[in-house]
Every structure is written in structure tokens, then in C-alpha cells.
Structure 1
Amino acid sequence: MSTRAWPIRRTSRPTRARADRRELAGFAAVGLLAYAADLALFTWLRGPAGLDPLTAKGISFVAGCSVAYAGNALGTYRHARVKGLRAYAVFCAVNLAGAVVQLLCLTLSHYGLGLTSQRADTVSGAGVGMALATVLRFWGTRTLVFRTEGRVGSWTG
């Protein structure tokens, strides 16, 4: 069984590899846009707006998640069969799991290690946390939300 982003019938390995690269590139492009929205809003909320780091990260997460869903649904996975509100709910759950990873990184750095500067908060929450969460989000998005028939590990709900 293959893990393609869209249905491709009996193709050669090079063709499947190209499809997988296109999926990864599309996911990465959407992710960069979502990351930019998240980072810009987090930085503004943490700095000029003066919010605490966890509240700022929570708000910026919602903005980044919305950008990611729209980009993936309309772009990267536009050929996948999506089940409306159910797919959006699963997408939110996958991204919430990613947000927990980010918040844990931020919490550990800020409160556990005492690294309380805006720069340290940005590196831990929007840098290290985002990188770890991205791996989880890619897996969840492609296997649980925007699935294709026959994909190994796909969600059938």
C-alpha cells in the first residue's frame, strides 16, 4: 500500500516518489505560511501587546491552524476526499496535539529552565516546539484528515 496524497493508479516508483515530493512540498509551503502567521502574531502579542507567553501562544496557534487548514484543503490535499466538519474536527485535534508539544517546549524553557526573555520564548515556542510539532502534524494531516483510499493507516471515519 502506498502513502500518496492523491489517487494514482499502479505507477512506477519514480512517479510515486514525485507525487510524495509534491505532497511534502505543498505541505511545507502551507506550513511556512501558517508558521509566519503564528510567529508574527505570537511576537506581537508577547511584545507590544504584553501578553504572557502561554496566552500569546494559544492565540497565535488558532491563527496558524486556520491558515494551515485552508491551505491544505484548498491546495496540497485538494484531490483528497474530505468529510466536511468531521475532517475539520480531526484536523483541529491533530493540530491541538501539535500545540501541546509547542506549549510543553515553551513551558519547560520559560518556567522550568528560567529562560524568560522574549527571544528565549520565541526560540522555544515558535522554533523548537514548532519543529517537533510539525512532524506530528504532517503525519496526522496526511493519514487522519486528508486521506486517500488505500492509504496505510488512514482514518475511515
Structure 2
Amino acid sequence: MRRLIAQLARFGVVGAVGFVVDFGVFNLLRATVLSPEDVHSGPFWAKVVSTTVAIVVNWIGNRYWTFRHQRRSVAAKEGVEFVVVSLGGMVISLGCLAVSHYALGFTSALADNVSGNGIGLVLGTAFRFWLYKTWVYHPDRVEQESARSTEASSSTR
């Protein structure tokens, strides 16, 4: 239980850094090149770009800190799975933003931030942590990879 709490705390710190990156990039893009006054779907694309940048930051933090004891030897495969889960979280966040901005007509910067960076973030975070813990960084998968690489190296001798 203590390890889970420590892991949740590290996940929270990494997520907070990712949030700052996501929030900053989103608002910078929304206020400049992807302003809704200039680009109708600007807030949507600003969120896609900001979340993508945050995914990279979060993968590095989670791989090398939060789940460092559970990371797998094949970083590329783990990275692809991490991105797949993160994209699921992004869809949740984009869905919240789309409903608020386009369906309900709440188009202010505050409304976009509440829906995409508030509600969407909370729902997406719960989704991501669950799948990172149960799939991407699951301890059984790490042990299975270790056993396979040991078998492979002993059979080549």
C-alpha cells in the first residue's frame, strides 16, 4: 500500500509538470496562431498540440521516475503503448472541450480551460493511471520480458 501511495504521488508530480506544459502551450497557441477568431477549430487543434507535447514530457517522467522499477527493457514498445493510452486520455479531454465549446457554445478562454484542462484532465488522468498501472507498466509484463530475455541469452550460448 505504501508503495502505491508513493507511486501515486510521483504520478501526480509528473502529471503536474505535464499539466503546466499542456496548459501553457494550449493557452499560448489559443491566444496566438490558433485563436478562435482566426481559426474556427483553433482551440481544438491547440489542445491536440499541447496534449501531444505533454504526452512526451509525461512519458519521460513516468518511465524514468514513477514506474522506474516496472519499466520494460524495450523502450519503443513501452512508448507506443504509453502513447496509445495517452491518446485515449486526450480523446476524453478533447471530448469535454468539444462538448463545451462547440455543442454548448461556451467559447471563452475560461470555459475552454475548465472543460479541456479541468474536467477533461481529471477524467483523463484517472483513465491513464489505471491503464499505465494495469497494462503499460504492469509488473507481470516486466517479469515476462525479463524471463524471455534470459531464455534467449541462455539459448544462444
| Aligned-residue offset at 1:49 | 3.1
Matched, 1:78 2:62: no
Matched, 1:115 2:106: yes
Matched, 1:147 2:134: no
**1:124 — aligned with what?**
115
Unmatched 5+ stretches in structure 2: 36-41, 143-157
Matched, 1:87 2:78: yes
**2:3 — aligned with what?**
19
TM-score of the superposition, structure 2-length normalised? 0.82
Match of 2:12 among 14, 28, 31: 28
Larger Rg: 2
| Aligned-residue offset at 1:86 | 1.1
- Of stretches 27-36 and 41-50 in structure 1, the one that deviates more from structure 2 is 41-50
- Work out the CA distance in 2 between the residues paired with 1:96 and 1:150: 21
- Bigger relative contact order, structure 1 or 2, given CA contacts below 8 A and separation 6+? 1
TM-score of the superposition, structure 1-length normalised? 0.82
- Work out the CA distance in 2 between the residues paired with 1:145 and 1:120: 33
Alignment-mate amino acid for residue 84 of structure 1: A
**1:6 — aligned with what?**
none
Report the structure, 1 or 2, having the larger helix content.
2
Unmatched 5+ stretches in structure 1: 1-16, 152-157
What is the number of residues matched between the two proteins? Answer: 135
- Residue pairs, 1:23-102, within 5 angstroms: 23-51=7-35, 52-82=42-72, 83-102=74-93
